[in-house]
Amino acid sequence: MKIRVYYEDTDCGNVVYYANYLKYMERSRTEFLRKRGICLSSLQKEGYLFVVAEASIKYKAPARYDDLLEVESTIAGITPVSLIFDSVIRNEDQKLLSKGRVKLAFTNNQGKLWRIPDKIINLLS
């Protein structure tokens, strides 16, 4: 997915603030799931959530104000109760800016780990 860097995304040097890369990756993961027919708001209404259990990110080069970024997320692993996503962020010249990995745990609305329904696994396979 493409994301434009706005002024509000940057620090005083017009470089994207480090935590915003995680936000960009979140948007990419959400759209990845949506394209496969998995609506997170519908899951929430049913009493289930994907919550971030682990996150790591490596910064390679800065994104700057007004850059157009390409954020790509892919599934790196599936367990009965979690999804692992890898994400990469590149600029318009396809230069790698950052890459990250996020593990999402599937829980009920009380925070208890829950087995991911087969219908979701099938949509991701």
| Residue 93: active-site member | no
Catalytic residue among 11, 66, 86, 93: 11
- Other CB atoms within a 10 A radius of the CB of residue 91 amount to 17
Burial 51-87 (b: 16+ CB within 10 A, else e): eebeeebeeeebbebebebebebeeeeeeeebbbbeb
Pairing of strands 96-108, 82-90: antiparallel
Q: In sequence order, what E strands does the chain have? A: 2-4, 48-59, 68-79, 82-90, 96-108
Q: Residue 42 belongs to what H/E stretch?
A: helix 40-45
Catalytic annotation, residues:
11
